[in-house]
Amino acid sequence: SFPSGHSGNIFALATAFGLNWTLKIRGKQFKLAWILYPIALLTCFSRVYIGVHYPFDILIGGLIGIFGGLLATFIVNKYFNDINFLKEKKEYKKM
């Protein structure tokens, strides 16, 4: 099936999480993308290895996923950055 849904999904998640989250190892901070992109590449390789996709399917699915991850990151950072999901702010109007 064209394009690969597995590669699209894994690259979208790797892009969105990798650009927004950092990991602290031995006092140094790294973008999580340094861990997630190799996992995404292994997932894509496995799809070709077991014969369910051609490399072109993986390439297009991965590009769609990267674009989707970048778009989601842009939208969240631009429009939802000020929302605090941990605290619920309740304001009631008195009539």
Q: Which residue has tokens 């996709």?
A: 53
Answer yes or no: is 94 within a domain.
no
Answer yes or no: is 92 within a domain.
no
d(CA 23, CA 36): 11
Q: Which domain, by its residues, includes 60?
A: 5-78
Answer yes or no: is 57 within a domain.
yes
- 94: pLDDT strictly greater than 70: no
Answer yes or no: is 93 within a domain.
no
Do 6 and 43 touch, CB atoms closer than 8 A? yes
Answer yes or no: is 88 within a domain.
no
Answer yes or no: is 54 within a domain.
yes
The pLDDT tens digits of the residues spanning 19-72 come to 878 766 777 777 787 888 999 999 999 989 988 888 999 999 999 999 999 998
Answer yes or no: is 84 within a domain.
no
- The pLDDT of residue 23 is 67
Coil, helix or strand at residue 5: helix
Answer yes or no: is 74 within a domain.
yes
If phi over 0 gives left and psi between -120 and 50 gives alpha, with beta otherwise, what is residue 55?
Answer: alpha
Indicate the number of domains in the chain. 1
